Amino acid sequence: MHWTEKDTSTTGYYVFRSASGGDFTQAGHITSRTTTTFNDTGLSSDTPYTYKIEAYSGVGTSVASSTVAVTTPLITPSALTAAATSGTSADLNWTDNDTSAAGYYVFRASDGTHFSQIANLNSGDAATFTDTTLTSGHAYTYEIQAYSGSITSPVSKSAKATTPLASPSRLSATAQSSTVVALSWADNDTSAVGYYVLRSTDGTHYSQLTKIASSTATSYTDKAASALKKFYYEVEAYSAATISPASEPSSASTPLTIPGTAASTAISRYERENHLDRRGCIGTGVLRAARDGWNAFQPGRSDHFG
């Protein structure tokens, strides 16, 4: 509280206080004329107090000032925590610090700044609340305020909870060649804005293979595989606020690389180096071309050329 000095002959001030309309008692003694403020401590919460001031000097005291009334607020709730329990709900818990509280207001912000009331708990013993009106993949900030009639406490310190995204499901991995694996999955959350594709060669240690910035993506082709290896895959959905748990893994084993025209090229080089045509002989063996490569055969057999 504070007041204005009216008399330069003042030596000091007496501060008087009345609680809940009772008699005034001295609450403070100020021994300096220039000190015109007083901080009254040790009061009860949610209680109306009335104050008046008297100046004094060596010859007496002044008439008391006009009164001023104030009602103390409730004590602020503390230890607020918030934890998402699903993609659409979060549990709040706090400590009630004031037995005068008749209930609590619950406030929520989706941007961490602009709060609005989402609940009025008409119980002074309330210390928990479950918010079931959330959207998956979003961050929410909460505050609590105790009240009694028109009197409220300061708001509590805030607590934050981020709801998870639903994991993609039905992940399938299919080797299409020795270097290509096709993936497909089911999108289970409309809040997802994209997907991370993870790959492992041991089924334990995964690393990010790619980031797909599309909310509708349900497939991906890994063109960086290698032959005769088993690859494991997982997919995570992501939003601006969070990442989903990984999907169940799926694996695919790549086949051996098909030789293609390598055999005929090798034979042609062999023939050139040994000055042979396709009917040429080496010792008693002859090389011929067949659908499955070059094979050696012996003279006199009916499956030779010509």
User: Could you read off the pLDDT tens digit of each residue along the chain, which spans 306 residues?
Assistant: 999 988 889 999 999 999 988 899 999 999 999 999 999 998 999 899 999 999 999 889 999 999 999 999 999 999 999 999 999 999 999 999 999 999 999 999 999 999 999 999 999 999 999 999 999 999 999 999 999 999 999 999 999 999 999 999 999 999 999 999 999 999 999 999 999 999 999 999 999 999 999 999 999 999 999 999 999 999 999 999 999 999 999 999 999 987 765 444 444 444 445 554 444 444 434 334 434 444 444 445 444 444
Q: In one letter, which amino acid is 210? A: T
**Is 218 in the same domain as 189?**
yes
Q: Tell me whether residue 305 is in a domain.
A: no
Question: Is residue 24 a part of any domain in this protein?
Answer: yes
98 and 46 in a common domain: no
Tokens of 52: 């008046």
Question: Counting Cβ atoms within 10 Å, is residue 214 exposed (0-12), middle (13-18) or buried (19+)?
Answer: exposed
In the chain, the number of structural domains is 4
**Residue 221 counted as domain residue:** yes
Which of 22, 39, 71 represents a domain boundary (last residue)? 71
Q: What is the pTM of this model?
A: 0.69
Taking alpha carbons only, the member of 51, 47, 49, 113 closest to residue 75 is 47
The rounded distance, in Å, linking the Cα atoms of 235 and 282 is: 58
**Is 5 part of a structural domain of the chain?**
no
Same domain, 241 and 278: no
**Residue 251's beta-bridge partner residues?**
232
Give the span between the Cα atoms of 227 and 179, in whole angstroms: 6
Helix (H) or strand (E) holding 70: strand 68-71
CB neighbours of residue 265 within 10 Å: 11
- Does any domain span residue 3? no
Range of the domain at 135: 78-162
128 Cα distance to chain centroid: 22
200 found inside a domain = yes
Q: What's the Cα-to-Cα distance from 23 to each of 17, 44, 251, rounded to whole Å? A: 8, 16, 83
Listed residues 56, 71, 86: the one ending a domain: 71
What are the helix (H) ranges across the chain? 262-273
Distance in angstroms (rounded) separating the CA atoms of residues 11 and 9 = 6
CB 143 within 8 A of CB 160: no
Domain assignment present for residue 289? The answer is yes
